[in-house]
Structure 1
Amino acid sequence: MPNTSYDALIIGSGQAGNPLATALADAGQRVALIEENLLGGSCINYGCSPVKSMLASAERAHQLRTASDYGVQGTEPKVDMAAVVARKDEIIGAMREGVRSNLTQEHEGITVLEGHATFTGPRNVLFTPAKGPVQELTAKRIFINTGTRAAIPEIEGLEGLPYLTTTQLLDLKELPKHLVILGGGYIGLEFSQMFRRFGSEVTIIESGKQLLEREDDDVCESLSEILTKEGVEIVLNAEVRLVSRNAEGIFTLTASTKQGERRIRGTHLLVATGRTPNTDTLGLEQAGIKLDEKNFIEVNAQLETNVRGVYALGDVHGGPQFTHISYDDYRVIRDNLLTRGKRRSAKQRPLPYCVYTEPQLGRIGLNESQAQQEGIAYRVATMPVSTIGRARETGRTGGFWKVLVDAQDRILGATVLCAEGGEIMTMFQLAMMGKLKYQQLQNMIIAHPSWAEGLNNVFAKLKKPE
């Protein structure tokens, strides 16, 4: 069996592993990157990029459907799902090829290996290629960037049925008549609005008392109202006990609710109840690498596992599962290994994120629930989006802004449920990084008419929480 040695071995071509490969290679190291599936990881292939590409198509359909509200005579759109999927595939195909070019042509010293990796020891990996002989690889350092996959709940009758994960739904070339979504997290919400705007009937089933369990009640209530107005049915406090499918292909989900037993039927079922790490086939026990109770890899503040020289990056080590956090994992490793005199920690990082419904939900820092749990004193300012001139002019008046301020008049966190909510949230993040006081935003000259003008007005009714 051939044995090849590298300075660095990266398992998984995700948003942390790819830039790390190029940084290490540019520093003169000999790097191998192993990918079992598609180059680019979840973000490019079945996460951010394909979902947002298809959301853009759904938004166009919504604009046609609502054109008469703006004095333009529109027609009911005819959605060609095969064309929607083809557009998505073209976009992500170009991104994937860009990754391949960057790794194989633009940087010397990187060997891309397509196949499966299994640890045989702390510095040893057995590489099984799609074609060709098995190889034993060794490296001074190994980086695990294998991500996650859809978690499938244990529900009677579900196993063996042709339900969909988000990966499969993104490739569906026929529009579902009635899509039932199991799970009311941000993935479920984005897909619910997308397929409702394409023309499907949509039902969300959530076991909790609200959508988006980590958000404040008023945020969840507002989002629920917005989605319900578009025709999405939302069933909360529903514990699904049984799933079946009849000869006509209709799914029936039997759920216990506070109102009693309920049966929800649909032509298609999307399971969106969370993610589970891709750690079960890596042979981590052969290297002595520790996992937590949910099978995520345990790491320290520098993202190193309990085995010296072995690191875990991205979603596979648990915590917030976002592309931008995975990319920051790369920066943590880069600075700690390659930048002399510079130390960087993966702990206590800011966590910006955005749910790409319309309106978007942008979040940075603390919300009210978190501030109360941590015992942090705050004042809160809330402003309906409908008070912003730009919102009234464009007809995008749904949602509100909420900002928390500390005793020193600095911003603790912001929740922005608004058109372009992710962009506006980032403005608050910049103010937080610069330790600006809220009065500086309140008195800043901002171009009119823009969404950002809300920064002048949101603090007008700043008060202590009730």
Structure 2
Amino acid sequence: MSQFDVTIIGSGPGGYVAAIRCAQLGFKTAIIEKYPTLGGTCLNVGCIPSKALLASSHHFEEISHMAEHGIEVAGEVKVNLAKMIERKQSVVDQTSGGVKFLMDKNKVTVFEGVGSFEDATHIKVTKNDRSSEILESKYTIIATGSKPSSLPFISIDKERIITSTEALKLPEVPKHLVIIGGGVIGIELGQVYLRLGAQVSVVEYLDRIIPGMDAALSKELTKVLKKQGMKFYTSHKVKEVTRNGNSVTVKADDAKGNEVVLEGDYTLVAVGRKPYTDGLDAEKAGVKLTDRGQVEVNNHLQTTTPNIYAIGDVVRGAMLAHKAEEEGVMVAEYLAGQKPHIDYNLIPGVVYTWPEVAAVGKTEEQLKEAGVAYKVGSFPFRALGRARASNDIDGFIKILADANTDEVLGVHMIGARAADLIAEAVTAMEFRASAEDISRMSHAHPTFAEAIKEAALAATDNRALHV
């Protein structure tokens, strides 16, 4: 029987990062992954492949609009979807291979198979050929991630009625892609196929897209995507999805009960994700699950069984790869007797459309609900020299600061490179900076980051310089 100090079940960003940190701290470490490739949902059918397709489709869109830059493209610009998806897969393979390299480098033992508990200290690894072996582990970290959710009345056939997994490898550009769900996944994949020539319709139950983010970001992204040709049906409740050959019909009712019928050749169900614990046999180890199917944990991410921990999508909180990574490091260091800490308020959220959307801290809606007195500073990208130079003028940066102390409470942005710019806001808020602090920092000119300084100036006695 193989014996380990720490065994991680699941090799996604949370799992493999936890394995690396455990190994760095001197633990004899193993990781169990049921698929042949490491990296979990994020690397294989989530973050990495979707960003590869977003990048490729963005290049196509840019090339198609080069005339205004004085660049003439001879002949018609065409999409080779098969080649685009082939490149996406090569990016996935390289990234997954990189994780395997890191496991070898850090002397983490990798087991391929389904990990399930026999008891609190023994884990069975069942391989594809149904053979199995038992591992003994002093500590276990559950990092089994999540899987796409659906609606009870929808039958996903993975051909025409699909999830995000199938949307990453379609055999053709849809004529009309109907997306159920206006969250991050649906909007990102919707823009991919919109750029490639598809008609895209988004049906969202709530009154706005990306509903978890500040309402101003939702409003601006909706405006930009409508300008690009995407259609939205917010405050619509889907009630029926049926397939007839290569056609899919989606029926939904608006807020007044009026029926809307959409006909498409593909329907993407993007109504969120749910924790994945199938086959884990958590009850054998005394690990309790919540009513929502999440693994119940305390503030140290410890389950109801003291030597077993859980991280990432399978526990409470935002389902974000970087959140899972931070939790993986936190558990490893906690096991080593250190005192790590995560400020969940400072974990940023990003939507990788173009313009990109990013945010950290409190939204205006949250501050109003909590009764916090705050002030707002906002700066539009179109007033930024760098944005005009590259013709990326959509969007703005908004800073929310405490009305009394000037401490930055939230930063919300939509615009070019927002996914990278948000790191400055996270850093500032980690050190409890004031809007005045940010406004006094020198930002290189011309850069997109200048918009952060200008927004901070706007929040500080309305002192923005370039509007």
Report TM bin, short chain: over 0.9
1:366 counterpart = 2:362: yes
Among 106, 111, 114, the residue aligned to 1:113: 111
Alpha-carbon offset, residue 231 of structure 1: 0.7
Are 1:302 and 1:344, in contact at CA under 8 Å, matched by a contact in 2?
Answer: no
Change (3 A) 1:111 1:264: same
CA contact (8 A) 1:22 1:103 kept: yes
Q: 1:455 to 1:255 in 2, by over 3 A?
A: closer
> Please, what is the CA RMSD of the aligned residues?
2.0
Cα shift at 1:160: 5.0
1:314 to 312, 315, 324: 312
In the alignment, does 2:457 pair up with 1:437? no
| 1:291 corresponds to which of 269, 289, 292 | 289
**TM-score for both structures, normalised by structure 2:** 0.93
Match of 1:351 among 322, 347, 351: 347
Once residues 222 and 27 of structure 2 are traced to their aligned partners in structure 1, the CA distance between those partners, rounded to angstroms, is: 51
CA 34–194 in structure 1, closer or farther in 2 if over 3 Å, else same: same
TM-superposed CA distance for 1:347, in Å, is 5.7
Indicate yes or no: 2:6 matched with 1:34: no
| Alignment partner of 1:206 is 2:204 | yes
Structure 2 equivalent of residue 61 of structure 1: 60
Residue 413, structure 1, aligned to residue 413, structure 2 = no
Kindly indicate whether the alpha-carbon contact (under 8 Å) linking 1:303 and 1:346 is maintained by their aligned counterparts in 2: no
The answer to whether the 8 Å contact 1:402/1:415 transfers is yes
* Counterpart selection for 1:394 from 390, 397, 414: 390
Identity of aligned residues (%): 31
Letter of the 1:299 counterpart: V
Letter in 1 for 2:210: L
Alignment check: 8 A CA contact 2:149 2:274 kept: yes
Shift of 1:111: 2.1
Q: Helix, strand or coil: the match of 1:423?
A: helix
Alpha-carbon shift at residue 383 of structure 1 (Å): 1.9
Cα distance change on mapping 1:455 and 1:25 into 2, 3 Å: closer
Cα separation, 1, equivalents of 2:25 and 2:435: 43
* Separation of aligned partners in 1, 2:61 and 2:340: 45
* 1-structure distance, mates of 2:230, 2:26: 54
Which of 449, 458, 466 is equivalent to 2:455? 458
Is the partner of 1:152 in helix, strand or coil?
A: coil
CA contact (8 A) 2:214 2:412 kept: no
Structure 2 regions of 5+ residues with no counterpart?
A: 463-467
Amino acid at match of 1:256: D
CA distance in 2, matches of 1:67, 1:218: 30
Partner of 2:465: none
Provide the C-alpha distance between the structure 2 equivalents of 1:420 and 1:23, rounded to a whole number of angstroms: 30
Question: In structure 1, what residue type is equivalent to 2:47?
Answer: C
Whether 2:375 is the aligned partner of 1:376: answer no
Q: Is the contact between residue 380 and residue 464 of structure 1 (CA under 8 Å) also seen in structure 2?
A: no
Range moving further from structure 2, 430-439 or 420-429: 430-439
**1:270 match: secondary structure:** strand
Q: Give 1:228's aligned residue.
A: 226
Q: Which piece of structure 1 moves more, 30-39 or 265-274? A: 30-39
Q: Specify the alignment match of 2:322 in structure 1.
A: 324
Per-residue deviation at 1:348?
4.3
Q: Which amino acid aligns with 1:392?
A: R
The one-character-per-residue Cα deviations of 1:408-430 (angstroms, maximum 9, x if unpaired) are 12211110111111222221222
Aligned match of 1:135: 133
The corresponding residue for 1:337 is 335
Report deviation, 1:88.
0.8
Structure-2 residue corresponding to 1:177 = 175
TM-score (norm 1): 0.93
SS at match of 2:346: coil
| Distance of 2:281 and 2:461 partners within structure 1 | 53
Indicate the residue corresponding to 1:70 in structure 2: 69
Displacement of 1:119 in angstroms is 1.4
Tell me the equivalent position of 1:149. Answer: 147
Instruction: Give structure 1 regions of 4+ aligned residues with deviation exceeding 6 angstroms.
Output: none
Query: Is the Cα–Cα contact under 8 Å of residues 156 and 162 in structure 2 kept in the other structure?
Result: no
- TM-superposed CA distance for 1:365, in Å, is 0.9
Equivalent position SS for 1:404: strand
- Say if 1:26 and 1:352 are closer, same or farther in 2 by CA, change over 3 A: closer
Q: State the distance in 1 between where 2:146 and 2:68 align.
A: 42
State the AA in 2 paired with 1:208: L
Q: Which runs of 5+ in 1 are unaligned?
A: none
Match of 1:103 in 2: 103
Query: Do the aligned partners of 2:156 and 2:163 also contact (CA within 8 Å) in 1?
Result: no
Asked if the contact 1:161–1:245 (Cα under 8 Å) also holds between the matched residues in 2, the reply is: no
- Cα 1:79–1:121 change in 2 (3 A) is same
Please, which moves more after superposition, 128-137 or 308-317?
128-137
Aligned residue type for 1:413: G
Deviations 1:147-204 (A, max 9, x none): 000011112x535574111111112232112111110001111111111001111111
Question: Which residue pairs with 2:83 in the alignment?
Answer: 83
Q: Deviations over 1:200-235 (max 9, x none)?
A: 111111111111112233221111110011111111
CA distance in 2, matches of 1:321, 1:115: 24
1:223-248: CA deviations, max 9, x gaps? 1110011111111111111111123x
8 Å CA contact retained: 1:301, 1:346: no
Q: In the alignment, does 2:91 pair up with 1:94?
A: no
Q: Distance in 2 between matches of 1:333 and 1:266?
A: 46
